[in-house]
């Protein structure tokens, strides 16, 4: 299963946040980019099931001290 994780970071920390996400070996990362707009970054990850996906998002990405908000979009097809 694939998911798009939209991230909001504390001001001035987007680059640091993306470096941390890209360096996390526990995350099966497809793409991580800074973006303009309501969110600061988009991260695309893959996981074998919802449990592993939840662990990646909540325990690894969501616990980063500079991330203030995440929104996860799970693909349908």
The per-residue pLDDT for range 9-66, each reduced to its tens digit, is 999 999 999 999 999 888 899 999 999 999 999 999 999 999 999 999 988 787 899 9
pLDDT-based confidence at residue 72 (cuts at 50, 70, 90): very high
Q: Kindly report the pTM of this predicted structure.
A: 0.91
SS3 assignment for 33-66: EECCCCCCEEEEEECCCHHHHHHHHHHHHCCCCC
Specify the CATH architecture of the domain 2-74. Answer: 2-Layer Sandwich (3.30)
Please give the pLDDT value at position 77.
87
Please give the pLDDT value at position 4.
97
> How far is residue 14's CA from residue 77's CA, in Å, rounded to a whole number?
30
Contact call for residues 46 and 30 (beta carbons, < 8 A): yes
Domain ranges of the chain: 2-74
Q: Which helix (DSSP H) or strand (DSSP E) does residue 32 occupy?
A: strand 29-34
């Amino acid at each position: 299963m694939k998911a798009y994780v939209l991230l909001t970071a504390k001001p001035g920390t987007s680059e640091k946040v993306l470096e941390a996400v890209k360096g996390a070996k526990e995350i099966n990362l497809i793409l991580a980019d800074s973006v303009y707009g309501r969110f600061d970054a988009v991260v695309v990850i893959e996981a074998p099931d919802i449990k592993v996906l939840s662990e990646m998002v909540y325990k690894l990405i969501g616990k980063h001290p500079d991330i203030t908000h995440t929104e996860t979009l799970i693909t349908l097809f």
